[in-house]
Amino acid sequence: MAPVTPKIQHRLRIVFGEDIAIGPGKVDLLEAIDAAGSITAAAKQVGMSYRRAWLLVDTMNRCFTEPLVVAESGGSRGGGAELTPAGREVALRYRAMQAKAAAAAAADLEAITRLLA
């Protein structure tokens, strides 16, 4: 049997009312929209349906004081989507929180790892 390497899996989420305003899947989607320039292409990139991606974007846009994503439908160029400055800031700050949480948990993870079978 090959040795198993433990890893920490934490899922930071910011809940606003009944909605998850931002979490790991939504940040992945924001980054994919930023790279691809469209919700359709971003959805494919992260492995979700367009409808699911659109619902996540809608939730994020409703939760924050300003939209994180602006979309342009149809047209001669087929539309597209882009992050707003707020969208970029939220994605960057979320990734910073993830890094800080992982760093803060590293010593405890190492201690627990030594106790695993």
pLDDT surpasses 60 at 76: no
Which of 57, 59, 60 has its CA nearest to residue 48?
57
pLDDT at 75: 59
pLDDT surpasses 90 at 90: yes
Give the mean pLDDT of the chain.
92
Q: Which residues of 79-116 are buried (b: 16+ CB within 10 A; e: fewer)?
A: ebbebeebbeebbeebeeeeeeeeeeeeeeeeeeeeee
Helical pair 85-115 and 24-36, crossing angle rounded to 10 deg: 130
At 3-27, the pLDDT tens digits run 777 777 788 999 999 999 999 999 9
pTM for this prediction = 0.86
Residue type present at position 104? A
At 39-63, the pLDDT tens digits run 999 999 999 999 999 999 999 999 9
**Better-predicted residue by pLDDT, 38 or 4:** 38
